[in-house]
Structure 1
């Protein structure tokens, strides 16, 4: 998979408590088409799904579990969770683990800004990092280099 640096939400981000992704994707303001008096209505849920790759790059310690949530905002200050992945136990949060986060935004999502939110359960971790962002396609094979 290939990340676009301008769309990267977390780049080896240390997660030591509940936290939003370091970066936010700004989908831009909607414009008004020529000859119309009304601006376009945003709906980022129409069309094909946009794969999201969220991977552990450093193993986590201390916490009980971690959940990755997709959040949107109309103003980059008020955030709404629109989807959440499964809650992952600490034992699975090792380097290379790929979160099974939602693949696409629900139809009718009209927000301008998108980010991830990392919801930690249990004791705050002192180690654990994540890299995340939209990709063209996810690498989902579970074994490497052999039969």
Structure 2
């Protein structure tokens, strides 16, 4: 799988945290100063993907552990401003139990849905108990790995 730092939300983001909401880096779909190309969504303005499905990868890279019954749920959010003063959930994944949160698990569907505004981010929701380990990588890859 080809990953690009310009389209990376989280690079092994450590989510060993207390119950609550945590956020990835923000991707600007209106960024300037980048060369535009079909493989660089940060430079294509509001025409993300140009009519094609845009791959999304949000994957557990280190299994989660907890002293309790922690859960993790992930949402892809969009907003008209970088501060996300009025975020909109484009999609929300299922709430995963601790036993399901193993390395390699995909936390969201594999494509960005239609309706993106100027900015995108990932919201990680840790519920019920503190997680003591667990990392996630999320990106808009050039394509998805199928094996």
- Cα 1:121–1:45, aligned 2, differ >3 Å: closer, same or farther? farther
Larger radius of gyration: 1
Q: Render the CA deviation track for 1:2-27: whole Å, top value 9, x for unaligned.
A: 11011110011011242011x11111
Does residue 47 of structure 1 match 2:48? no
* Residue among 105, 109, 122 paired with 2:113: 105
Count of aligned pairs: 128
Instruction: Give the equivalent residue in structure 2 for 1:3.
Output: 3
TM-score w.r.t. the length of structure 2 is: 0.76
**How well do the aligned residues superpose, as a CA RMSD in angstroms?**
2.2
TM-score w.r.t. the length of structure 1 is: 0.76
The alpha carbon displacement at 1:104 in A equals: 2.5
* Residue among 25, 28, 34 paired with 2:27: 25
Does residue 83 of structure 1 match 2:91? yes
Instruction: Give the equivalent residue in structure 2 for 1:58.
Output: 62
Gaps of 5+ in 2: 33-44
Structure 2 CA distance for aligned equivalents of residues 73 and 4 of structure 1: 22
Does residue 92 of structure 1 match 2:96? no
Gaps of 5+ in 1: 31-40, 142-147
Structure 2 CA distance for aligned equivalents of residues 67 and 45 of structure 1: 26
